[in-house]
Structure 1
Amino acid sequence: MVTFLLFIIIGLAALNFLQYRSNKSDQSNLTYLYKKLQRIINEQTDEKLLLHTDREDMKQLLIQINRLLEHNQKIMASYNKTEISMRKMLSNISHDLKTPLTVVLGYIEIMLNDQNRSQKETDELLQKVHGKTVEVLELIKRFFDLAKLESGDKDIPLTRVNMNEICRKNILGFYEVLTSKGFDVAIELPEENLYALGNEEELDRILNNLISNAIQYGSEGKVLGLTLRTDEHSVYVDVWDKGKGISALHKDLVFERMYTLEDSRNKSYQGSGLGLTITKRLVEKMDGEILLNSKPYEKTTFTVKLNRITY
């Protein structure tokens, strides 16, 4: 009996010792996790919590904490990218507004200071002031349009749209410009009408932006093409040119806010950097996708992909 009781006492003592060690180990692990987590948060590093443990509940806790850390790191990376983009956008807005406004101010000063000018000269100056003012208003309108698209305030109702008619109407709208600039135009439209889920007004705007962009930046190639094609599920509109194109370095950036190629700041390639951003947002609002493929001086193609409607 005494021996049995002695075994029980020894067993209880061993369990108590093991529990003490386990508690001490848990306390040590928790202290480590607290200090490591505090350092990750304070220093904003991209580290993860690493801990060797046999406890399943502790493993699951570590998995969820690491998921939360990863989510937070993605949010911070997105925030930092947006902040950099906004700073660049504000810098470019300042530049793009300052230039025409400075010109307008110059014209007004000429009219105020030169009292001996003829009526013809006055009319010419007023026409230039009017042109620059329209330029500023158009730029401001684009800023508001982009803000509405990104905030979700712009409602774009989607319906069944005849893509053949949309393409035909928009390319004909540039006929005089293309002819005056000496462009060869290649149009490929299927005989049967193709229908897509979209918004006619916004599709006009999208194609207007893409064709204008091809004329402006692809003028050296003197060729502009528009192709309408389809597969089982989608309708594709390709707007292409054979100009200087877009290098691989810039390919992923052309749809970013206020992004312009370096030479787009000169008079030949003036642009706000908002056109393609707005185009991309509009396509996405129609549950579509815009793609870019470019080989400089061979072929640069912007492709709008929309959901096909077959009925």
Structure 2
Amino acid sequence: MKLTAREKSELFGEGFVTVILLLLLNLSLLILLNEFIRTNPGLERGIFQIKESITIGPNNYRVWSYQNFFIFFMVIVDVWVVYWRLMRRYKQMQLRHIISELHYIADGHFDHRIPFTLKGDTQRVVDSVNALVDSVIESMDEERKIEQSKDDLITNVSHDLRTPLTSIIGYLGLIENKQYKTKDDVLKYTHTAFLKAEQMKSLVEDLFEYTKVRQTSTKMTFSEISVEPMLEQLAASFELEAQKKQIEIGVKTTPTALKIEADAEKLGRVFNNLISNALKYAKGGRHINLEANQNGQQITFIVSNDGEQIPEKSLNHLFERFYRVESSRSKATGGTGLGLAIAQSIVELHQGKIRVESSEKLTSFIIDLPLKQHKSNKK
């Protein structure tokens, strides 16, 4: 920390005044000591005998006197006092600089940090202040991101709801204004309005599920689940749809008697979303594989398909809400863009992780989950 010219002058003045006061004090004490000894003959004779008995060298040179001893002692005390007062003033200046830096940061310069390095407790104060500012700025940035996230959510929901709602109003308006020629036209318009209403319902349900699983207070009902029967049941529930698209769903677990502690309903939602995505978007695929392997104290689930490769630029965005890979997700396939975001949130509620890998031969969604849930996660 660099001192200003004014602060250096303050330190010099502090030292000068302290030295003058100490000299006056020393002189006063020396006078009082001499007077005290002079008025006590016994003490004076004792000091004289001590003086005569302490000699140095073959010539019996006498170097001791109580005045010399007193002056030597007071010099040591005076040096300590001057050092103490100067250091106290210097630390006050350090605190003044710290306070000045804090005011500068508080004025809106949030990218600024206290730059100087000090010693001892003062440096810990500086480090604590910088850490506190970093924490506050991080919290502010996080709050901005949350607000922006809320705005984006409202914008996306409004957009996705407005499109089918416009169609519903348009087709029902044609019927209301009798702008149809035959009964078949009426049935066509109402059927289209029904499909759009179903699309809106799906979005609302997914949005409700997304907001529910994103909350840290979401209630989880954990139980022991047999993995292989669960995956086989999931495969069976999509068998009819898979047959229509000439896709085969296979199940494999290692070991076969594998069990996991999880929320069955929410974990089922994860696999439902992944299998549905594979059926909808795996263009040209003929196989969907559901695998589960035990790796120590965790299970690795793999939901893979041999369909069209996901573009590399899209891999890092797949789990963002409302994100769609435009080349494969058209209006014909539908989808709210919330399925993978919901899956990721549910996996995180199970203290797990989900990732995706995609190549020309295989696209795999990989989920790592612990075999047993930590006690704190069951509360």
1:195 partner letter:
K
Distance 1:89 1:35 in 2: 42
CA contact (8 A) 2:228 2:252 kept: no
Mapping for residues 143-162 of structure 1, pairs under 5 Å: 143-162=207-226
Residue 102 of structure 2 is matched in structure 1 by 37
Asked whether 1:202 is paired with 2:266, we answer: yes
Mapping for residues 230-245 of structure 1, pairs under 5 Å: 230-245=294-309
Give the Å deviation of 1:10: 4.2
SS at match of 1:43: coil
Distance 1:73 1:182 in 2: 54
CA contact (8 A) 2:180 2:186 kept: no
CA contact (8 A) 1:158 1:286 kept: no
Residue 90 of structure 2 is matched in structure 1 by 25
Distance 2:351 2:231 in 1: 19
Give the Å deviation of 1:123: 2.5
Count the aligned residue pairs.
307
Residue 103 of structure 1 is matched in structure 2 by 167
Distance 2:217 2:184 in 1: 46
Percent identity reads 23
Task: Write out per-residue CA displacement over residues 255-306 of structure 1, whole angstroms, 9 at most, x where no aligned residue.
Answer: 23333334467424543221111111112223333232223x2322112223
1:207 partner letter:
F
1:149 partner letter:
V
Distance 1:16 1:191 in 2: 79
Give the Å deviation of 1:211: 0.6
Residue 229 of structure 2 is matched in structure 1 by 165
CA contact (8 A) 2:281 2:329 kept: no
Distance 2:109 2:289 in 1: 49
Task: Write out per-residue CA displacement over residues 14-47 of structure 1, whole angstroms, 9 at most, x where no aligned residue.
Answer: 3343233223322322222222233334435344
Q: Which deviates the most, 155-164 or 140-149? A: 140-149
1:65 partner letter:
V
Residue 157 of structure 2 is matched in structure 1 by 93
1:20 partner letter:
R
Query: What TM-score comes out, normalization by structure 1 length?
Result: 0.86
Residue 117 of structure 2 is matched in structure 1 by 52
Gaps of 5+ in 1: none
Give the Å deviation of 1:254: 2.2
Mapping for residues 1-311 of structure 1, pairs under 5 Å: 1-43=66-108, 45-54=110-119, 56-114=120-178, 116-190=180-254, 192-263=256-327, 266-268=330-332, 270-295=334-359, 297-308=360-371
CA contact (8 A) 2:275 2:303 kept: yes
Query: CA 1:61/1:111 → structure 2, altered by over 3 Å: closer, same or farther?
Result: same
Query: CA 1:199/1:205 → structure 2, altered by over 3 Å: closer, same or farther?
Result: same
Question: What is the root-mean-square deviation in Å for CA atoms of aligned residues?
Answer: 2.6
Query: CA 1:185/1:144 → structure 2, altered by over 3 Å: closer, same or farther?
Result: closer
Task: Write out per-residue CA displacement over residues 107-166 of structure 1, whole angstroms, 9 at most, x where no aligned residue.
Answer: 111111225533333223222222211221221122222222222453220001111111
Gaps of 5+ in 2: 1-65, 373-379
Q: Which has the larger radius of gyration?
A: 2
CA contact (8 A) 1:241 1:301 kept: yes
Q: Which deviates the most, 145-154 or 202-211? A: 145-154
Distance 2:86 2:240 in 1: 87
Q: Which deviates the most, 205-214 or 195-204? A: 195-204
SS at match of 1:291: strand
Query: CA 1:110/1:245 → structure 2, altered by over 3 Å: closer, same or farther?
Result: same
SS at match of 2:371: strand
Task: Write out per-residue CA displacement over residues 78-120 of structure 1, whole angstroms, 9 at most, x where no aligned residue.
Answer: 2333333333222211211111101101111111122553333
SS at match of 2:204: helix
Distance 2:115 2:202 in 1: 54
CA contact (8 A) 2:255 2:294 kept: no
Give the Å deviation of 1:247: 4.3
Distance 2:187 2:255 in 1: 50
